[in-house]
Every structure is written in C-alpha cells, then in structure tokens.
A = this chain, B = another copy of it.
C-alpha cells in the first residue's frame, strides 16, 4: 500500500477485532456496517473508511463476512504469528501482566521475567523463575526475544531501555510512565496510565467532546 494509515485508525483495529471475535462466538456470520456501527457506537461511515484502508470492502447489500473480516484484521494486526516477551520488573505491574492469560491466547508468550531485587530473584511466578537483570543479555542471545515489557520505575527506565536496544530487542512495551528516546528500528508502545486517568477527569468535568 502506498498511502500511510494514520495511527488513530490502527488503534481502532483491535477493537474491531474483539467485536468480530464476539460475533463469531455468537454464531453471527454476516453483519452490515450499520449493525456493526450500532454495536460499537461509532458511525457506519467511519467503519467503512477504516476498513477500506486495508482493502476490506463489504458487499453492497450483504455487509461484511464476519469470519473473513476477523481473519483479515488478525493478519493486518500481525496476530497470525507468535511473539516472545520478557518482563523487566517483577513488581505488581509485571506480575499482573504475567498472570494475564489472555495475552497468550493472542500469541504473546512470556518467556522470561527479570528483576534486581534479591528478595524476588529466584522466586517463581506462574512457572517462570525470576532471573537477575544482569542475565538479560545472555538470555537474549540464547532466546528469540521479540518484545521487552518495561515495568520498572521511571528512574531506571531509560538506562534499561538503552540496554534492551543494544541487545537487539526490537519491540518495547513501556509501562514506566516516561517517554523513551526514538531509536531506529525499535518500536515503542507506551501505556501511560496517568494520561488515561486525566482523560477521565476531563470527561468528568466537561461534556465538550465527541466520544468516538
């Protein structure tokens, strides 16, 4: 495709994927963009525009084939592969992520968890023994690590990130609530929980927004 797709569209795809998965579970095989739009509370024209970006066109009068569309979005999102993840930081967030089985169902497999705290290193969390962070480099050499989950405090985040990049890991899922410097060829996805809470505060105080 020549035309670049805006990240706002990309960020809506997982939601389509979830809804289509639910429809499949309910045995629904076809859906019009109008019906889908009512279910998802977005406009039918937005759905059509979003999906057209990837060459997913519904048939006039027939709507979308749910299973085909589900499989197409799965492929677009890269969910037809599996990914190996390591968690850096075995605190509450790190443990919560490791215990979250839904990720594995989507192809995201946790193969290691690392920390520096001597009280935590050596303990087991869900079949994985917590390793010391200094073992990360050799672990990365011996295993195919796709994504590092940064679940460490702000103070440690940037240094650790630089190490992760130097070990050749190409994906970073960042929970450390700081912005990381751009590095060529490295994908960073930030989860800023404070931002989400601030957005909630805004909506709490103002009805001056369009919710879509």
| CB atoms of B204 and A170 under 8 A apart | yes
Roughly how many angstroms separate A195 CA and B5 CA in the complex, as a whole number?
17
| CB atoms of B173 and A197 under 8 A apart | yes
Give the copy number.
2
**Contact count band on A:** 35 or more
Our pick among B41, B146, B192, B208 for the contact of A204 (Cβ within 8 Å) is B146
Contact partners of A10 in chain B: CB under 8 A: 199, 202-203, 209
Our pick among B1, B77, B99 for the contact of A201 (Cβ within 8 Å) is B77
Whether A62 sits at the interface, judged by CB under 8 Å, is no
| CB atoms of A78 and B14 under 8 A apart | no
Q: A4-B208, A198-B14 are in contact. Are A100 and B173 (CB under 8 A)?
A: no
Our pick among B78, B191, B192, B210 for the contact of A7 (Cβ within 8 Å) is B210
| CB atoms of A106 and B76 under 8 A apart | no
- Residues of A whose CB lies within 8 Å of any CB of B are 1, 4-8, 10-11, 13-15, 17-18, 41, 76-79, 81, 83, 91-93, 95-97, 99-100, 102-103, 106-108, 146-147, 170-171, 173, 177, 179, 182, 187, 189, 191-206, 208-212
